[in-house]
Amino acid sequence: MARVRRRSLTHLDSEGRPRMVDVGPKRPTRRRAVAEGWIRMSPHLLRAIRENRVEKGSVLTVAEVAGILAAKRTAEWIPLCHPLPLDHVDVRLTLDDDFPGVRVEVETSLVARTGVEMEALVGASAALLTVYDMCKSLDREMEIGPVRLLEKAGGRSGVWRRPGLEGRPKRKG
């Protein structure tokens, strides 16, 4: 497990009350984040999704739209997040027979004073929850997780990439 750096808690004021961080003095920079997650399911359900036989409709299409919408509305999900005018959101769902299940990867980007990690994570979570909602009548034992940040770029801290992904191709962007 990575070592946690000790810093002051930026979302608390001097009295310990929650606050939204003032990013006004920061310089806008190009920011980008990529998050991923999985939902494990029965091979039967995965086949139904692949063959577009789920009664509620095209699971992957609806989940992609849900991921985009959620990323755009992250500040409504996460109380202390800044509302951000995203330049780009890309949600990709991949069927995996070996898992079996669906993998989601969400990329977000913009030019701003604060990062877009939460937007990528919320987008991935919403896409996976949408798959669950659309398919729960066929498989109540589906499992979601983990949802995690893969990489981020921009701002004072620069580029960060999750350790252990060295052999994995980077997303273009």
pLDDT digits (tens, 9 = 90+) for 13-57: 677 766 666 565 668 899 999 999 999 999 999 999 999 999 999
6 within some domain: no
For residues 11 and 78, the answer to whether their CB atoms sit within 8 Å is no
7 within some domain: no
List the domain range (segments joined by +) for residue 141.
35-157
45 within some domain: yes
Please tell me the total count of domains within the chain.
1
23 within some domain: no
Catalytic residue selected from 13, 22, 96, 133: 133
26 within some domain: no
165 band by pLDDT with thresholds 50, 70 and 90: confident
Task: Reply yes or no on whether 22 is catalytic.
Answer: no
86 within some domain: yes
CATH number, position 103: 3.30.70.640
120 within some domain: yes
C-beta atoms surrounding 98 within 10 Å: 5
What CA–CA distance (Å, rounded) separates 115 from 28? 10
For residues 89 and 68, the answer to whether their CB atoms sit within 8 Å is yes
> What value does the mean pLDDT take over residues 78-97?
94
Please tell me the pTM assigned to this model. Answer: 0.85
4 within some domain: no
What is the average pLDDT score of the chain?
89
